[in-house]
Amino acid sequence: MSGKDRFYRLMQGDEACAEGALAAGMRFFAGYPITPASEIAEYLSQRLPEEGGVFIQMEDEIASMGAIIGASLGGMKSMTATSGPGFSLMQENLGYASMAEVPCVVVDVQRLGPSTGSPTAPAQGDVMQARWGTHGDHAVVVLSPSSVKEVYQLTVKAFNIAEELRLPVVLLMDEVVAHMRERVDMRELAQVEVVDRKRPATPKDSYLPYGPDRDDVPALARFGDGYHFHVTGLFHDSTGFPTGNPKEIERQIARQHRKLERYRPYLCIGDEEALEDAEVVVLAYGGSARPALAAVRQGRREGLRVGLIRPTVLWPFPEETIYALATRVQSIIVPEMNLGQLALEVERSVKGECRVTRLPKVNGELFTPEEILAVIRKEALSCPSWRLRPIYEKKDYAISGVQAVATA
């Protein structure tokens, strides 16, 4: 190796996830083997002992999720990694982490499902499960990387968000991104900002593990430091002890959601390409964003006014950004390796301001740029006249629709 070469490294997505986690300060990993996430565990089983951290292969995914919560309360940044079937098993304890506000990171490398499905085939069918997989109204953040470099960066970000907000964060990868190998510039990856959870500054006897705080995120003490606090999945008051008082329950659940709402502006992150004058926009994430970008660039070469928006935070969904976009474009195309999951959220967010075209694919293959480009061409050709219509016409249409239902 000579010159600049030594700054570059060929890295796999799963490996970048493991290295990103270590850079973020993760020192506890518990997992159970599953394709296509096993490489993360394999890699960490070698690296964690080197770093003085803990690697343990548990008896199942339920136990893995439980162990990382226990370790986090012991003060270690912790993570598990799995795929669809294992992610399903983790849901109950994921809800616990949300309810008890225990920071941790769960990596779900999606594969084609439901059930055992097609273990080595790429898919993006866990978008809704990542949001609503556990029961009840819970706070969760879900991130979706599209490249090896971004896997590293978003893994670090996942830990930072988890620590800052005291909640579980899901890194939602897909098989394509996890198994892909790319050249990464180690100098870029070395620039990592690491956030650690807030520790209690109050005296031990007045510590409130679920008390109100300026930013709605209470400080988290460590087990073994003499705070003698209680953690439960039952609804609890600010002391952490169970309560059945409806007012207290309401107060706690409101705070748990408010802390995320407050942070929301920082979570509207992503990437875009040629959006300025675009009339047709492709909204893509994860592995699907790669062929989408190629399709958009080809469309531009063909003279089409097409752009790409690529949210890297899927939940909370950047609805204001998408609405603002919808008011100035004609059409949004959503290619995803499922039957239209994030598209539902796009449709909800645009509030009728533009057309949303779903482009689903669930045969276990990645999109080709050509498949997406075909839809871009169709949309670009059919849109212009539609866009020239005054806005009130669209509203009229909506009103007449309602009247039609009423008179029928």
Partner 1 sequence: MSQLAVKTHLREERLRHIWCPGCGNGIVMGAIARAIDKLGLNPDQTAIVSGIGCSSRASGYMDFDTLHTTHGRAIPFATGLKLARPELNVIVITGDGDAAAIGGNHLIHAARRNIDITVVCFNNNIYGMTSGQYSPLTPRGMKATTAPYGTIDRSFDLCRLVGAAGASYVARGTAYHVRQLINLIANAIAKKGFSFVEAVSQCPTYYGRRNHLGSAVDMLRWQKEHAVPVKAAANMTPEELEDKIVIGELQNLSGQPEYVSEYYRLVREVQHQHAALR
CB of 348 to partner 1, least distance (A): 32
- Within 8 A by CB and 6+ apart from 219, the residues are 197, 198, 199, 200, 201, 202, 207, 209, 213
Nearer to partner 1, 75 or 340 (CB): 75
Q: Residue 227, exposed/middle/buried by CB under 10 A (0-12, 13-18, 19+)?
A: middle
- Within 8 A by CB and 6+ apart from 286, the residues are 110, 124, 144, 145, 146, 172, 173, 174, 176, 177
Nearer to partner 1, 145 or 218 (CB): 218
Nearer to partner 1, 92 or 272 (CB): 92
Nearer to partner 1, 73 or 326 (CB): 73
CB of 246 to partner 1, least distance (A): 19
CB of 51 to partner 1, least distance (A): 9
Output b/e per residue, 360-378; b: 16+ Cβ within 10 A.
ebbeeebbebebbbebbbe
CB of 18 to partner 1, least distance (A): 16
Contact 60, 92 (CB under 8 A): no
Interface with partner 1 (CB under 8 A): 28, 30, 49-50, 52, 54, 56, 58-60, 62-76, 78, 92-93, 96, 222-234, 241-242
CB of 68 to partner 1, least distance (A): 6
Cα–Cα–Cα angle for 376, 377, 382, rounded to 5 degrees: 100
Nearer to partner 1, 202 or 403 (CB): 202
CB of 267 to partner 1, least distance (A): 28
Nearer to partner 1, 92 or 371 (CB): 92
DSSP code of 6?
A: G
